[in-house]
Amino acid sequence: MSPPVVVTVAGTDSGGAAGVAADLTTFAALGVHGACVVTAVTAQDTTGVRAVHPVPLDVVAAQLDAVLEDLDPVAVKTGMLGTPETVRLVADRCADRILVVDPVIVATSGAVLADDAVVRAYRDHLLPVATVATPNAEEDDRLGRDHGATVIRTGTGGADLLCVPGQPPVRLAHPRVDTDNDHGTGCTYAAALAAELAHGLALPDAARSAASYVVGQLRLSQRWTLGRGRGPVAHLHQPKPHHEGDSA
């Protein structure tokens, strides 16, 4: 039986902690086939972002059309989109699929990553067709609270908040992990959520499972030191053992 296909529409991270690198690794760990559409090439490391080169809209569209037409993904996960035009493109092309929107607007450090035009495009076009959004608290403040199902992420803080219109908020508790090696946790969480939804889990169960996966990766990254700044969350998973008779 073929695995579900999930496509990430996001930027690269030369440090391997976030963006497309985090998404594809997470997809593989959780048993879905990952495809990718690159929206921006970034030069970044554990100390910060050095440069961002947006991919032209026609190239983003060509990538997205190729994946949608051939692989027919069950779910789409968005990360850094960068421009209002790219936000609208994704909304137009992906409204009929499971759509997990990680609105990359404010970094964990507090740095603003999207201007007002991009925020308006999220509000007016992408969030209304999203299955669920996964903002951090600062991003949620900028977007407002009228944008459908939302998991407000607290990172290592011990609980997330699932908000669905017409229902009381649900606190999704998870173990607190004390580590500064958490760069990429937002991307990893949203990718894990998209993978679990692609497997057919209901939103609350998928949100809990995604948080559990991220906690496990944070516990791994707690043990190491990588880089000179805020280290990456782990992107490791235990490989399945070979069965007797399999080739090595």
Query: Is the backbone of residue 72 left (phi > 0), alpha (psi -120 to 50) or beta?
Result: left
* Cα–Cα distance, 174 to 190 (Å, whole number): 16
246 has pLDDT over 50: no
The predicted structure's pLDDT at residue 241: 40
Mean pLDDT of 135-149: 84
3-state secondary structure of 73: coil
Greatest Cα pair distance, the chain, in angstroms, is: 58
Mean pLDDT of 36-63: 95
> Does residue 61 lie within any of the structural domains?
yes
Backbone φ and ψ of 108, nearest 5°: -55, -35
For residues 148 and 127, is the Cβ–Cβ distance under 8 A? yes
Measure CA of the first residue to CA of the last residue in the chain; give whole Å. 23
Side-by-side strand order, sheet with 132-133: 48-54, 33-45, 5-11, 75-78, 98-101, 132-133, 150-152, 159-163, 170-173
The predicted structure's pLDDT at residue 157: 60
Residue type, 43: A
Mean pLDDT of 179-206: 96
110 has pLDDT over 90: no
24 has pLDDT over 60: yes
Mean pLDDT of 99-119: 84
DSSP 125: I
> Does residue 23 lie within any of the structural domains?
yes
Q: Is the pTM above the cut of 0.85?
A: yes
CATH code assigned at 109? 3.40.1190.20
> Does residue 238 lie within any of the structural domains?
no
Range of weakest confidence among 27-36, 153-162, 208-217: 153-162
Which token pair is 177? 């992990």
171 has pLDDT over 70: yes
Domain that includes residue 145, residue range: 5-221
> Does residue 207 lie within any of the structural domains?
yes
> Does residue 231 lie within any of the structural domains?
no
The predicted structure's pLDDT at residue 238: 56
Q: Tens digit of pLDDT for each residue in 152-170?
A: 986 556 788 999 998 999 9
Split into its structural domains, the chain has a count of: 1
